Structure 1
């Protein structure tokens, strides 16, 4: 017997529910830096001065931190601070724009770009690209006003990297360039609608001149000591407490880049990339990098160029921190690519080797960024080499500094890189099951994993694709939990099993060379030819024969076929419409 109860809960007005919910929702918002003000214990990113809340064109009333919400707001704090009342969001946007506040960030961005274009038209110049600064400024100002300033031409003897960084990091200014050469001008973005007395422009010019004077001093002083002479002082800078100094890291990098150069047939630049590795961290000791940390790597490369080192050497140093994100460019040089991969992998293996793991949103050492950088360089440069062996080399170079079991370190790294590759391929728009099929086949060669997913994507609409996937899934299901066996061609009894074996041998001889060179598209097209033979085999041959030798031999044939297929892709991961996902 059961007892039931029917309870009717009447609906309540939405505005009443929202008035109860919103205070706790506002209070639950968290920021990296929180503050208190007045005598209240309430914490927020900044003091709350006003709360505008409207529902159905009427004010919604609630209180947070002693401030009661209403239907009024105010314009720009300096240029139009008076209060106004609004009823709708569109009315809110229009009213604020008249009061020098542009609500939409994308509109502020467009205003900045439009004004920059107008300011530079007379100079026939362009703005030095800096998407990060543009993004930040479009959020920092409420009503952007772009101003053009200048600085003395004698500072143009400084590298453009130094000039643009001094402008960006100190004052959030854009460099002005023409034909990739710095001009003695800069662009700034102020919050307002004009600078009639040129106070903003002149103030920025005065501050920038002082910063450029400092930068010129650093540029001259740093070059008084050669890079080679500085290397011995790297022992004073700790890379990681358990992993040693930057001198230790430099010595490891020299071995890793030499190994990788051999593996990608880059022996012609092996000597130069080893020298680049030796100089890669030296600029951490310079005054310029102490003042502008974002220039590390670049300054080392520039100082190496000033000393007369060859392009492969100084470019290796200059580019080895690239890319800092998937949107950033990979190194342009082969030596830069080799050193970039080696440096990032050294950091990842070292961290994993002392027990550091990436969990959820926590990644204090930027291991995800480093792994994605490695993958991006390999894919952009089409570097074909055994990645798992490079991992072995890095683990070996660390020696006793690795505290975790080596096999655990390697397996974690491979799984970690698999996750990063999935993320990259998903961003590129590939189907998740095709990604799983490509990566489950192994990432011993990262570039080959991309060629696999690309081949699967190009052939997924072929009429042969789905029928063959179903066959391969059937093979996989039959072989589940079966012990490995070896094929004995003398034990074949039926015509169809002999035909399948003959077809398989021909296909294998043609496919293995294609797999080796990464031509997975052509390899799959050849594998499609097995379809008729394997269908006949399943239709006319009893795989699980009563006689043990015959049964094991037929299973061995299917195992051999499956072993070949898994080198192309793990087809069991592919989802056919109407079937459950195997993800």
Structure 2
């Protein structure tokens, strides 16, 4: 017979940023442990609970004892277990006794070949695991496997023993229906008592009636919404109601909502406000300080502008919330005053005046300071700008790159590193540098994460590319290549940023050439005097001087990221392989090539042509070169080879014209007309004939076929 099971750990306040994961993991691990011991009924329902002071799980359909099951027990080799007369030897009798059997079962033992050895096996019925034992084992395993970021060691009540957990645990509940399951963990024996809200519980301790009354008793007696998900929904509901009253909208921030949900057990949303004078400070600063320091939700108007009001989620519900609101308003006033002070102080110095101090900010012990890095980045940005739009863009990119890291030395960014770039933009605008330069300073970090927007203008594109390429080339140059999950310098993100910018901005830049130009700038650019004396291995000894191997490794790395990114966008592995096999250097072409391949693949002729293309490639691989470049029409003896030559001659100009016009889809679809002459050629023409002239002429014909078919993608990949 099955009943429902409730397990709870009552703890001191858990880390809010980890609570959601801890709650889900505790439930998943406990369920997995019970399931492995056949203690769960089919279709058992699991409900995870997590609040600042508890981790709990409710599971339906849990058996008091698992069903017995037949087990085949391996004993020992026949030669060891039985003597010459087939009687049990002492070792066999001893083994049987340990399993609760005797000599009477010897005639019923199975003899089975185990590898090359004939072995004795015994069929037994294993008793099902008792819930007490199974839950004890599952609980210990779950506690040991929880994703705890940092373990705390604390003493137990006896004053001598100590245990390790994320926070001290004060009580353990284990109820199977209404019965206590006598398990223990972390020095605690299971019971049925828990604690409600620290200040608002009607009853403390709360004595649970049974496993199913847990959530309701905590709510009605303890003023606690035990479910993380339900508590979050309630907070969202209250936030929406409070925001509507103010005719404003709360800032959308899922991570902050999760954190606030993990801080309260009985949420109560209240509205506060601050002085309008603080709105003179950039709203990003105000929003960040309210979110990061106070866990408030700032309110925005219909235009997305910050209002001088905010919402806070309190853990208490006083009759008069005025004191709570006033206290929070005093705290936020101090925080915003600090932000305003930083902003006012920062604007007293220009970005350019801060540049010399970048020489004291170490970027990497093998690569020097941010000042030296800026020296390279601006040269790379200028080079990219020159290629994209000439001298004017090159000059703007140089200026923006020069100032891009200056805000690292401001008080505001020192307090809030997340604002780097953003504050640089505000300070640049304050100095009247113009939006092209200002936005480039902010945008050169973009894209910062998957799905992030790209730089808004070409100046920002140049600096963003330069910043990422300099990082990639230099890090690969000193051997800092990501391995496994380790990527301390976010090189995968930088590579994806380069890929997205080149493709989505349709930049006519060749990746191979671009990386080589960056390498040359870093190798050849003369180091100014202020950095020349630095004892930095990569600067003084130029450890990776030509960096040919580093360049190759980096290209491979970027192409791997590109292939993965394209597959994540929904392209098949075949489509991606077909396009990337040709190693296209202009990445902005890749989406059009993929679209063309996808359109070609659905044609009735596609599979046949792909197979033929693969066959042609294999034939050509076996040639030693030295064949003519042009087909000699006088040597075309067979009607089939004449027909193929005629088809190639007719279609070649059409496909090239479409290709040159960027119409890759049409260029590939024209190839459908080749199916019949190609099939006929392979049915009736022998390529590797003894006559050298005929053989070479047919190889030239196939080489032309191979070239025309693989201009956009390696179509043979579609045959795999």
TM-score normalised according to structure 1 size:
0.88
* Residue aligning to 2:607: 466
1:449 to 564, 568, 590: 590
* Residue aligning to 1:157: 280
* Residue aligning to 1:167: 290
Structure 1 residue runs of 5 or longer lacking an equivalent are 577-581
**What's the CA shift for 1:58?**
7.0
2:695 is the alignment partner of 1:551: yes
Query: Where in structure 2 are the equivalents of 1:360-439 lying within 5 Å?
Result: 360-399=484-523, 401=539, 403-404=543-544, 406-439=547-580
Query: Where in structure 2 are the equivalents of 1:269-280 lying within 5 Å?
Result: 269-280=393-404
Deviates further, 167-176 or 150-159 = 167-176
2:400 is the alignment partner of 1:281: no
Query: Where in structure 2 are the equivalents of 1:562-573 lying within 5 Å?
Result: 562-573=706-717
Query: Where in structure 2 are the equivalents of 1:13-162 lying within 5 Å?
Result: 13=128, 15=131, 16-17=133-134, 19-38=136-155, 40=161, 42-51=163-172, 62-69=183-190, 74-80=195-201, 82-85=205-208, 92=214, 96=218, 98=220, 99-102=222-225, 105-162=228-285
> Which whole-Å deviations, capped at 9, do the CAs of 1:242-280 have from their partners, x for residues lacking one?
112111111211121222223444765332222111110
* Residue aligning to 1:355: 479
Deviates further, 122-131 or 323-332 = 122-131
2:120 is the alignment partner of 1:5: yes
2:649 is the alignment partner of 1:495: no
* Residue aligning to 2:378: 254
Change (3 A) 1:264 1:287: same
For 1:565 and 1:59, the matched residues in 2 are separated by 74
> Which whole-Å deviations, capped at 9, do the CAs of 1:102-155 have from their partners, x for residues lacking one?
455554443333322211213322223434433443444444433221111111
Deviates further, 424-433 or 65-74 = 65-74
Whether the aligned pair in 1 keeps the contact of 2:386 and 2:393 (CA below 8 Å) is no
* Residue aligning to 1:220: 344
2:667 is the alignment partner of 1:526: no
**What's the CA shift for 1:172?**
2.1
Change (3 A) 1:31 1:364: farther
For 2:193 and 2:654, the matched residues in 1 are separated by 76
For 1:94 and 1:350, the matched residues in 2 are separated by 60
Change (3 A) 1:12 1:59: farther
Whether the aligned pair in 2 keeps the contact of 1:105 and 1:138 (CA below 8 Å) is yes
For 1:212 and 1:517, the matched residues in 2 are separated by 57
Higher strand residue share: 2
Query: Where in structure 2 are the equivalents of 1:503-518 lying within 5 Å?
Result: 503-512=647-656, 514-515=658-659, 518=662
Higher helix residue share: 1
For 1:181 and 1:63, the matched residues in 2 are separated by 55
Query: 3-state SS of the aligned residue for 2:165?
Result: coil
Query: 3-state SS of the aligned residue for 1:528?
Result: helix
**What's the CA shift for 1:160?**
1.1
**What's the CA shift for 1:489?**
0.6
1:299 to 382, 404, 423: 423
Query: 3-state SS of the aligned residue for 1:3?
Result: strand
**What's the CA shift for 1:387?**
1.6
Query: Where in structure 2 are the equivalents of 1:165-204 lying within 5 Å?
Result: 165-178=288-301, 179-191=303-315, 196-204=320-328
Query: 3-state SS of the aligned residue for 1:187?
Result: strand
Change (3 A) 1:408 1:443: farther
Deviates further, 470-479 or 341-350 = 470-479
**What's the CA shift for 1:307?**
0.5
For 1:502 and 1:100, the matched residues in 2 are separated by 86
Q: Answer with 1 or 2: which has the greater Rg.
A: 2
TM-score normalised according to structure 2 size:
0.72
Whether the aligned pair in 2 keeps the contact of 1:112 and 1:138 (CA below 8 Å) is yes
> Which whole-Å deviations, capped at 9, do the CAs of 1:25-65 have from their partners, x for residues lacking one?
42133433222111556433323344556779976654432
**What's the CA shift for 1:383?**
2.9
**What's the CA shift for 1:86?**
7.3
For 1:459 and 1:339, the matched residues in 2 are separated by 38
Query: 3-state SS of the aligned residue for 1:43?
Result: strand
* Residue aligning to 1:579: none
**What's the CA shift for 1:304?**
0.4
For 1:430 and 1:383, the matched residues in 2 are separated by 22
**What's the CA shift for 1:168?**
1.8
For 1:62 and 1:335, the matched residues in 2 are separated by 66
For 1:296 and 1:341, the matched residues in 2 are separated by 17
Change (3 A) 1:466 1:166: same
Deviates further, 56-65 or 210-219 = 56-65
For 2:608 and 2:705, the matched residues in 1 are separated by 16
**What's the CA shift for 1:459?**
4.4
Query: 3-state SS of the aligned residue for 2:169?
Result: coil
**What's the CA shift for 1:513?**
5.5
Query: 3-state SS of the aligned residue for 1:8?
Result: strand
